[in-house]
Structure 1
Amino acid sequence: MADAFGRMVEDYRKDRLAERSVYRRDDGHVSEAHLEGYFADYDDWSELDRWMVERVSGSVLDLGCGVGRTALWAQERGHATVGIDRSPGAIRVVRERGVERALIGDLGDPPLRTGFDTLLVIGQQLGLGRSRAALEGTLSELARVTEPGGKLVADLSDPTGPDPRAESEYLDRHAVERGLAYRRFRVEYDGCAGPWIDLLMASPDALAEVVAGTPWTAEEILETDSSAYGVVLNHGG
């Protein structure tokens, strides 16, 4: 698997970017990857990101941890923290930045059997896949590595939310069912193209329907002025 993301963040950290890095959508739309956000300090995070990390308690598994922004924050506050990302390059950066436990692995199949008190999934990665079944499967798998009474803190995007019309037209073509749609994109950097990634978006109502068939129950939600929102799920055991 070409690790375009890993090359991109490693080069950015070492101040040696070869070219502008981009995200390419499956309809050809290209947007610049604003890499400074991956390395931003807490004070520069969005309200939603701060809301999510402030709900962390106990031991933490940061899934899709990227360059370790939130894993490092949790570790520095005394939480036993493990970061997981499928990008080897990103994991090298995480370790260099001081996260003590960082593993290469897939969010939907964590390479651990230990139960954690908090699972943190930031960047709308909980929706990896393009179907209700994929999201149900991810939630069921993540319950396996969560202590009874533990929590999952994540953000998602509502496909029925206040997006520009051009975005709405794209999502209409990628609708799965009521309240569910997906984006497909990949990272491109310095002649390297990463794998296509499907991210499922779910309205709060659609998410509640999916969660009802899993070991989780919804505890808290934070809506924002955009289509993004945060959610806290409890693992009933």
Structure 2
Amino acid sequence: MNTDVFGLALMDYLNGNYTEDIATYSSLDEQDTIPVPYLFRTYDQMPKIEQKALDLCKGSVLDIGCGAGSHSLYLQEKGIQVTALDHSAGAIECCGSRGVKNTVCTSVLEYRNQKYDTLLLLMNGIGIAGKLELLKTYLEHFKSLMLPNAQILLDSSDIIYMFEDEDESDGDWKPEIETYYGEVDFTMQYKGATSSLFPWLYLDYNTLNNAASDAKLKCELICEGEHFDYLARLTHL
């Protein structure tokens, strides 16, 4: 059974039943948490990269992987036409309860026949590609959702630092693993419920740039964050 752990946590918080955060377990042998209140942050509480992305949004916006809808709500309040999309039914219910007017509950690859000026993928939103070999499939699909002068705004992180030795000085060093080092498998747990295992993709900028070029998209580095993260913009060539 594929439990909507993320959606359960969001709705609990919204209904005043917040007692714990989401626990995450990854193939990197790391346990971490997603603080549920952070998913309900305001613009002023967001990282600079997210603020910059929201400032760059134009025209009609598709917020892919919208979560609790914090980005969509901010854009909506600014008078921007935004559609919040997520495959989590709980997330979409949360967005609607918070006042997001336009919502879609589906996988982005199954979403068709609409076009936008801005595709927004924040909180490492491009991670939904899961595997590097699927990245071109996602980029090609994103192109089908873009109007002629549209843009894709996305952030990601280069997690090479998690593999490097402290005495490693060669800037071209790569970990000795068979797959791309940014491919990570996750499960989430919340109040005794466990999600299915799902892949998530962390992209270094050069790899994103090469994939964008292969998909005939222009890639631009907008800014970098404080912890190996960055914001990029993709546009039609």
Fold equivalence (TM over 0.5): yes
**Which residue is 1:79 aligned to?**
80
**Which residue is 1:176 aligned to?**
179
CA distance in 2, matches of 1:18, 1:173: 41
CA distance in 2, matches of 1:224, 1:164: 20
CA distance in 1, matches of 2:139, 2:162: 26
CA RMSD of aligned residues (A): 2.1
Distance 1:175 1:63, change over 3 A: farther
**Which residue is 1:69 aligned to?**
70
User: What code does the residue aligned with 1:156 have?
Assistant: S
Instruction: Judge conservation of contact 1:154–1:232 (CA < 8 Å) in 2.
Output: yes
What are the within-5 Å matches in structure 2 for residues 35-50 of structure 1?
35-50=36-51
- Give the SS at the match of 1:70: helix
CA distance in 1, matches of 2:164, 2:214: 33
Distance 1:113 1:222, change over 3 A: same
Residue 121 (structure 1) aligned with residue 124 (structure 2): no
Distance 1:193 1:51, change over 3 A: same
Deviation string 1:11-34 (CA, Å, 9 cap, x unpaired) is 012121354431122355321221
Identity %: 23
What are the within-5 Å matches in structure 2 for residues 71-110 of structure 1?
71-107=72-108, 109-110=109-110
Distance 1:21 1:174, change over 3 A: farther
User: What code does the residue aligned with 2:103 have?
Assistant: A
**Which residue is 1:16 aligned to?**
17
CA distance in 2, matches of 1:115, 1:46: 28
CA shift at 1:235, angstroms? 2.5
Distance 1:191 1:172, change over 3 A: farther
Instruction: Judge conservation of contact 1:128–1:197 (CA < 8 Å) in 2.
Output: no
- Give the SS at the match of 1:232: strand
**Which residue is 2:208 aligned to?**
207
- Give the SS at the match of 2:202: strand
Distance 1:130 1:88, change over 3 A: closer
Distance 1:165 1:127, change over 3 A: same
User: What code does the residue aligned with 2:52 have?
Assistant: W
CA distance in 2, matches of 1:230, 1:38: 19
CA shift at 1:174, angstroms? 6.0
- Give the SS at the match of 2:218: strand
Consecutive unaligned residues of structure 1, counting only runs of 5 or more, are none
User: What code does the residue aligned with 1:112 have?
Assistant: R
CA distance in 2, matches of 1:121, 1:224: 16
CA shift at 1:51, angstroms? 1.1
CA distance in 1, matches of 2:224, 2:25: 27
**Which residue is 1:233 aligned to?**
234
CA distance in 2, matches of 1:68, 1:150: 22
User: What code does the residue aligned with 2:123 have?
Assistant: G
Consecutive unaligned residues of structure 2, counting only runs of 5 or more, are 166-173
- Give the SS at the match of 1:176: coil
User: What code does the residue aligned with 2:32 have?
Assistant: S
- Give the SS at the match of 1:16: coil
- Give the SS at the match of 1:186: strand
- Give the SS at the match of 1:202: coil
CA shift at 1:182, angstroms? 1.4
- Give the SS at the match of 1:206: helix
**Which residue is 1:59 aligned to?**
60
CA shift at 1:39, angstroms? 0.4
Instruction: Judge conservation of contact 1:150–1:235 (CA < 8 Å) in 2.
Output: yes
